[in-house]
Chain A
Amino acid sequence: MGDEAEHKRERAAEREAAKQEEAQTRKRGWRLMRSAVRAHPQLMILGVGAGLVWATARVAVPLLAGEAIDHGIAVDRTGITFALTGAIIAVGAVQAVGTGLRRYAAFGLAWRVETDIRMRLVAHLQRLHFAFHDQAQTGQLMAYANTDIQQINNVVLLIPLTIASTIQMVAVVVILVLRSPGLALFALGLLPLLNFSATRFNHRMYPIGMQLQKELSDVSGVVEESITGVRVVKGFGVERMQRARLATEADSVYDRSIDQARLRSNFMPLIDLLPALGLVGILWYGGHQVLAGNLSVGDIVAANLYVVMLIWPLRMIGMLVGQLPRSAAAAGRIDSILATDPAIEDVAGAHPLPDGPGSVRFERVTFGYGRGPAVLDGLDLTIEGGEAVALVGATASGKTTVARLIPRFYDVHAGHVRIDGADVRDARLSEVRRAVGLVFEDTFLFSDSVRNNIAFADPEAPNEAVVRAARLAGADEFIRDLPEGYDSIIGEHGYSLSGGQRQRIAIARAVLADPRVLILDDATSSVDPSKEHEIRAALAEVMRGRTTIIIAHRPATIALADRVVLLDGGKVVADGTHERLLTTSPRYREVLARAALESQPGAVDDEELLDAPGVGD
């Protein structure tokens, strides 16, 4: 019993905390939007100013029409009718110019703000540390830069538009009240309901819309699974089962859609009804006032026009009210990223990296990812300048982590990583990064020409340097075989290369940067063994006079190194030449044997019997 109460309290407290956090996020969102809008005061001023002109002109038209009826048409004075008609045409021109300018300013402001915020976000993301990107999902970040920013756009757009609409509304109310408070009440009294119900409608529509989106994504879930698993579906003949599952989802979509239609049927007809009731009220109250001689027919017509005129502004305010919290929350999410400081930055008074042969020292280094367990635990390791060392170890032994700490992708928790005697945290980050060239195991190439990919570190590099780097990485030959040679576009929108080819381009990219320390993290794992032989010869040349750290399993690659360091559990457990370790370290033999088993040459068959057909291409 007590437990349950306790539980309830806890949950209430949690809800409260979540609510507060949401409010906090929205507050930050407001701040971000305010500062972004403030950067373009001229557009805001133009938007509101043009809106003012537009509103004034628009409000004048019914007045002129009313005057024309009373003093021209009703009393057969054609001259006055025509004069007032001319006035309406002139005022209309002003209104038209006003509406063009205010739209231009409002949309212009919205797109400018969207573009600015996106730029800030992306520039910031480029500078955020590895640890941030390790836990962030690309899709999520893309959503921030795309859909969330659109939410901001939606609200920024509505602000100047709504200001003008509000002014117009106030003017209409004032004019009608001055003419006849009773008429104003009957004409406009019910219209706020439109605003009220638009807000309510948006508020209630939102969750149903979300539900519908979820049901739709469930439908696509079933479809995607059935199509990617079509061989299993057909192999077991369970088409009927899948059809039944889809039917269930389709039913849910139908039900939600009908819910949505019902809600819409409560609101949409009001858009016609409320103004119509205003017109009825005008005809009744205004009509009797005309009979009593207090109002004119022109007043009735003018009031009619005002009612029709206010439908849109009221709906727009309703939309803005519905949009505000959503946009603020979206902006808040973006702001929380902008507020994340890059953890890896130059310290105050960072000094240049001293010249040197590229010696690397780990001194009692302890490190773990995030709050996870320590991956390196008091690691000591010295690599002399110009030396070639192979790091060998089982999965999770810490060898890739060693590779990532040298260019200071992460900061150590304790101890020091030194390059040529300088702690990497004290040296300028840009120089550390330039001094270390790392070829990752999962090669990432950009959608660009082969040449630009290789010359990534130095886009100005002469052609010969690019070709030389490619040759050293054993890539020159296949690049020349590509239809456009070095100008061939690769990556997602270009030629697709094999894993081994990609790795070789990545090696060329690192070679071109000409680093003091070259780190190859399993960088030849996808290269066909028969070709690896060629790369090895070239690599030997690259390694000459350069500190090289090779993370590899294939004995032939390990043989490129002068020395082998065996890591286990984040510590060095054996150190020596390959031959010595083979004879003295059973653990070394075990690690190599395991690795050999995992990569049987010739075992990979591209033609798979039952794989998923090309998902996502």
Chain B
Amino acid sequence: MGWWGDNVPEETLSRDEATRVIRRLMRMLRPWRVLIAAATLVLMAQAAALLSGPLLVQHGIDDGLPGKKHPHGSAAVLNRTVLVYLGVALLGFVLGRLAIILVARVGEGFLKQLRNHLFGHMLSLSLDYFETEKTGKIVARMTSDIDAMQELVSQGLVLFVQNAFVFVGAVLVVLIVSWQLALGILVIVPPVYFGSRWFRRVSNKAYLEVRDRISTNLSTLQESLEGVRVVQAFGREDAFTRKFEVTNEDQYHANMHTVRISSKYFPIIEYAGVFGTAVIIGYGGWLTTKGIVTVGTVAAFVLWLNSLFEPINQLSQLYNTVQSSAAALAKIFGVLDTRPTVRQRQAAVDLPRSGTVDVQDVTFAYGANEPVLHDISLHIADGERLALVGPTGAGKSTLAKLIARFYDPVEGSVEVGGVDLRNAEFVSLRRRVIVVPQEGFLFAGTLRDNVRVGRPEASDAEVEEALRALGLLERFAAFPEGLDTEVRERGSRLSAGERQLVSLARAALADPSVLILDEATSNLDPGTEHAVERALEQLMEGRTTIVVAHRLSTAARADRIGVVFDGRLAELGSHDDLVAAGGHYAELYRAWATHQAAPEVA
């Protein structure tokens, strides 16, 4: 049984691509070559055991039972044959068990390694990769693509190899036992083969259609559920039900199309089987009278017939699973072939403690696009607070990202503590320069685990110390399970403000010299807003801080303000200087100040 539609590959690989994928797969499988060889031998032996059954039936009938050869038969020969048969059957059973375990060890071991390898590689990629690829797609490489192969490995692989061996073995054995009768039944193989090919082609197309219809139907359904309030508010329930009926019936008809196809195919397969039996009986019977084969051979052929047909049937079903896996593997290789754009150099040096930042003549573009930053130079003294302001898309966030070396500048350089970031050793870079995102991001785990992200090797005491330094220890210790509270569990959902606090504590634990803050655009709950401000103040104390400011009130508190306009550093100076200078900043500030002062009725 099988629905045949489970694994219809969306895209199939060309022959060349498939060859490349297989070659590479072979290389990756090298560590398992001993196990693979063992599994192959076991599977071959199992096929031999399976195919020798009919041979023993033949021997038992011809040499043990009364017939033309031995008019009285021989109980001894019969008993001996039966005993050997029993032994062979049990051997086949043991080999079958062994094969499943061996193949699972190879396949699952490979998948485990692939998961780890692929994930490690993904994390080594630079930020540009994550910004150009959609999250859903990246995640799919690690989930649905590997899961597609998981299915092949756990269910299909053994069957695939087993059936291939059985088929080849069956062809050989019937040819050896009686090539005349073999040719008679092999005549039936081509129609079955071509029938299977036709079926696969037609049904794949039909199943792709089914998949389309299902997704259309599901999106209509989803829309009707998400929009149910609007539908009811406008009294359009009937119209919407009718709309769904159309897509629902479409799905039904697409499914029925596949039913019609398989209702044609399966009779052909079944009939071929019966026809084969008839050929063996009729043609084999005629050969018997000619003395070319024996009655036992006829009986054995009837049994071998199953070993000839079943593999073709099974293999054509597995074909789709194999194709999907190959396509998935090709996509995974695509990721593995992507190289990180930001890399650590060979002779990288540790960043010093100093928090001076020098941006020198930096020009930057995303990929091959137009530059978003032009020729920016900026010196930030150790311990200084600089706010970056400017309209959306002006480049202030990009500038901040360059200082954290999420990207490398196209021209010019960024130095921290006098070291060009391109020469910095990664671990020290991630310790010295820390970015605090707009929204506190939490990992699954406890509060403690989440703070420890700042410095994974920190002790419990150090984690608590970091929290205490920001005045947060009491607050989090008061949670139901204190710092061991699971943050993602139901009921202990942290508010946006609390998440932000965890994020700040994380930064405090990392103890950076340069802190880059992306100010939150949305308001925090009033209960935590104050705590966040206090913690921030503590965190910034004694560190170079660069704030990507969204509020002018924040900017006004900084030592200096950089106004980024159209990819250039348009103005730089203290709040008072800039207001007095009467440029962009002064304009923004005036508009904001009037708005603040009087929310007048228009």
Q: Is B295's CB under 8 angstroms from A297's CB?
A: yes
Task: Answer whether residue A251 sits at the interface, using C-beta atoms and an 8 A cutoff.
Answer: yes
Nearest CB of A to B546, in Å: 10
Q: Known interface pairs A241-B456, A283-B81. Does A609 touch B518 (Cβ–Cβ under 8 Å)?
A: yes
Q: Is A81's CB under 8 angstroms from B285's CB?
A: yes
Nearest CB of A to B58, in Å: 11
Complex Cα gap A429–B233 (Å)? 10
Task: Answer whether residue B439 sits at the interface, using C-beta atoms and an 8 A cutoff.
Answer: yes
| Chain A proximity mask over B195-226: 1 for CB below 8 Å, otherwise 0 | 00000000000000000000000110111111
Nearest CB of B to A207, in Å: 16
Task: Answer whether residue B30 sits at the interface, using C-beta atoms and an 8 A cutoff.
Answer: no
Binds B, one of A362-370, A377-385, A432-440: A432-440
- Additional A-B contacts beyond A119-B245, A610-B439 (18; CB < 8 A): A88-B277, A89-B275, A92-B275, A100-B267, A146-B218, A225-B444, A231-B127, A257-B104, A269-B94, A279-B53, A279-B57, A287-B60, A297-B67, A409-B233, A433-B234, A604-B521, A613-B131, A617-B135
Task: Answer whether residue A126 sits at the interface, using C-beta atoms and an 8 A cutoff.
Answer: yes
Q: Is B234's CB under 8 angstroms from A457's CB?
A: yes
Inside 8 A of A593's CB, which chain B residues have their CB? 599
Report whether over half of chain B's contact residues are helix, strand or loop; otherwise say mixed: helix
Complex Cα gap A278–B518 (Å)? 74
Report whether over half of chain A's contact residues are helix, strand or loop; otherwise say mixed: helix
Q: Is B105's CB under 8 angstroms from A258's CB?
A: yes
Complex Cα gap A250–B138 (Å)? 18
Nearest CB of A to B329, in Å: 17
Task: Answer whether residue B371 sits at the interface, using C-beta atoms and an 8 A cutoff.
Answer: no
Binds A, one of B20-28, B253-261, B376-384: B253-261
Q: Is B523's CB under 8 angstroms from A597's CB?
A: yes
Interface residues of B in 363-414 (CB under 8 A from A): 392-393, 396-397, 400-401, 404, 406
8 Å CB contact of A610 from B53, B281, B437:
B437
Complex Cα gap A397–B234 (Å)? 26
Q: Known interface pairs A257-B150, A260-B154. Does A230 touch B130 (Cβ–Cβ under 8 Å)?
A: yes
Q: Is A447's CB under 8 angstroms from B262's CB?
A: no
Task: Answer whether residue B479 sits at the interface, using C-beta atoms and an 8 A cutoff.
Answer: no
Complex Cα gap A520–B409 (Å)? 49
Residue among B278, B438, B595 with max Cβ neighbours from chain A (10 Å): B278
Complex Cα gap A601–B234 (Å)? 33
Q: Known interface pairs A76-B289, A138-B222, A283-B57. Does A243 touch B123 (Cβ–Cβ under 8 Å)?
A: yes
Q: Known interface pairs A115-B252, A225-B444, A616-B136. Does A103 touch B262 (Cβ–Cβ under 8 Å)?
A: yes
Binds A, one of B32-40, B354-362, B423-431: B423-431
Task: Answer whether residue A216 sits at the interface, using C-beta atoms and an 8 A cutoff.
Answer: yes
Inside 8 A of A237's CB, which chain B residues have their CB? 426-427, 429-431
Nearest CB of A to B509, in Å: 9
Task: Answer whether residue A555 sits at the interface, using C-beta atoms and an 8 A cutoff.
Answer: yes
Task: Answer whether residue A304 sits at the interface, using C-beta atoms and an 8 A cutoff.
Answer: yes
Binds B, one of A20-28, A61-69, A539-547: A61-69
Complex Cα gap A527–B101 (Å)? 63
Inside 8 A of B240's CB, which chain A residues have their CB? 126
| Chain B proximity mask over A117-143: 1 for CB below 8 Å, otherwise 0 | 011001101111010010000100110
Shortest Cβ distance from A285 into B: residue: B82
Residue among A76, A127, A287 with max Cβ neighbours from chain B (10 Å): A287
Q: Known interface pairs A126-B231, A555-B599. Does A608 touch B397 (Cβ–Cβ under 8 Å)?
A: yes
Q: Is B271's CB under 8 angstroms from A92's CB?
A: yes
8 Å CB contact of B550 from A114, A230, A246, A603:
A603
Binds B, one of A8-16, A105-113, A461-469: A105-113
Q: Is B116's CB under 8 angstroms from A100's CB?
A: no
Interface residues of A in 473-503 (CB under 8 A from B): 491-493
Inside 8 A of A605's CB, which chain B residues have their CB? 392, 521, 550
Task: Answer whether residue A204 sits at the interface, using C-beta atoms and an 8 A cutoff.
Answer: no
Q: Known interface pairs A96-B267, A97-B267. Does A78 touch B285 (Cβ–Cβ under 8 Å)?
A: yes
Complex Cα gap A92–B136 (Å)? 51
Complex Cα gap A605–B552 (Å)? 13
Which 9 pairs from chain A and chain B are nearest by CB?
A237-B430, A610-B437, A92-B274, A269-B96, A85-B282, A261-B104, A81-B285, A609-B518, A96-B267
Q: Is B245's CB under 8 angstroms from A269's CB?
A: no
Complex Cα gap A265–B100 (Å)? 6
Q: Is A130's CB under 8 angstroms from B96's CB?
A: no
Inside 8 A of A254's CB, which chain B residues have their CB? 108-109, 111-112
Task: Answer whether residue B567 sits at the interface, using C-beta atoms and an 8 A cutoff.
Answer: no
8 Å CB contact of B248 from A122, A141, A407:
A122
Complex Cα gap A111–B219 (Å)? 19
8 Å CB contact of A85 from B131, B233, B285, B551:
B285
Task: Answer whether residue A6 sits at the interface, using C-beta atoms and an 8 A cutoff.
Answer: no
Q: Is B82's CB under 8 angstroms from A280's CB?
A: yes
| Chain B proximity mask over A591-617: 1 for CB below 8 Å, otherwise 0 | 011001110111111111111111111
Nearest CB of B to A249, in Å: 8
Task: Answer whether residue B558 sits at the interface, using C-beta atoms and an 8 A cutoff.
Answer: no
Q: Is A74's CB under 8 angstroms from B67's CB?
A: yes
Q: Known interface pairs A126-B231, A231-B127, A236-B510. Does A107 touch B400 (Cβ–Cβ under 8 Å)?
A: no
Nearest CB of A to B240, in Å: 6
Inside 8 A of B306's CB, which chain A residues have their CB? 308
| Chain A proximity mask over B591-602: 1 for CB below 8 Å, otherwise 0 | 110010001111
Inside 8 A of B256's CB, which chain A residues have their CB? 107-108, 111
Q: Is B600's CB under 8 angstroms from A73's CB?
A: no
Nearest CB of A to B434, in Å: 7
Q: Is B406's CB under 8 angstroms from A291's CB?
A: no
Nearest CB of A to B313, in Å: 12
Nearest CB of A to B406, in Å: 7
How many chain A residues touch the partner (CB < 8 A)?
161
Q: Is A555's CB under 8 angstroms from B223's CB?
A: no
Task: Answer whether residue A235 sits at the interface, using C-beta atoms and an 8 A cutoff.
Answer: yes
Complex Cα gap A617–B286 (Å)? 69
8 Å CB contact of B430 from A225, A226, A236, A283:
A236
Complex Cα gap A407–B289 (Å)? 91
How many chain B residues touch the partner (CB < 8 A)?
158
| Chain B proximity mask over A252-272: 1 for CB below 8 Å, otherwise 0 | 011001101110111011101
Q: Known interface pairs A100-B267, A301-B302, A603-B550. Does A276 touch B89 (Cβ–Cβ under 8 Å)?
A: yes
Task: Answer whether residue B228 sits at the interface, using C-beta atoms and an 8 A cutoff.
Answer: yes
Inside 8 A of A288's CB, which chain B residues have their CB? 75, 78
Q: Is A319's CB under 8 angstroms from B1's CB?
A: yes
Task: Answer whether residue A229 sits at the interface, using C-beta atoms and an 8 A cutoff.
Answer: yes
Q: Is B119's CB under 8 angstroms from A223's CB?
A: yes
Task: Answer whether residue A347 sits at the interface, using C-beta atoms and an 8 A cutoff.
Answer: no
Q: Is B435's CB under 8 angstroms from A601's CB?
A: no
A-B contact pairs, 16 of them (CB 8 A): A73-B288, A92-B277, A96-B267, A229-B441, A261-B100, A262-B104, A273-B89, A279-B57, A283-B82, A603-B550, A605-B550, A607-B397, A608-B397, A613-B131, A613-B134, A617-B136
Inside 8 A of A279's CB, which chain B residues have their CB? 53, 57, 85, 89, 303
Complex Cα gap A74–B281 (Å)? 11
Interface residues of B in 100-129 (CB under 8 A from A): 100-101, 103-105, 108-109, 111-112, 115-116, 119-120, 122-124, 127
8 Å CB contact of A84 from B73, B264, B281, B439:
B281
Binds A, one of B139-147, B169-177, B319-327: B139-147
Complex Cα gap A29–B433 (Å)? 60
Nearest CB of A to B271, in Å: 4
Inside 8 A of B435's CB, which chain A residues have their CB? 231, 235, 609-610
Q: Is B249's CB under 8 angstroms from A100's CB?
A: no
Task: Answer whether residue A573 sits at the interface, using C-beta atoms and an 8 A cutoff.
Answer: no
8 Å CB contact of B454 from A236, A555, A611:
A236
Q: Known interface pairs A290-B66, A304-B303, A603-B551. Does A609 touch B397 (Cβ–Cβ under 8 Å)?
A: yes
Q: Is A88's CB under 8 angstroms from B601's CB?
A: no
Q: Known interface pairs A103-B266, A130-B232, A438-B233. Does A555 touch B600 (Cβ–Cβ under 8 Å)?
A: yes
Complex Cα gap A95–B248 (Å)? 34
Q: Is A227's CB under 8 angstroms from B438's CB?
A: no
Q: Known interface pairs A73-B284, A81-B281. Does A444 touch B221 (Cβ–Cβ under 8 Å)?
A: no
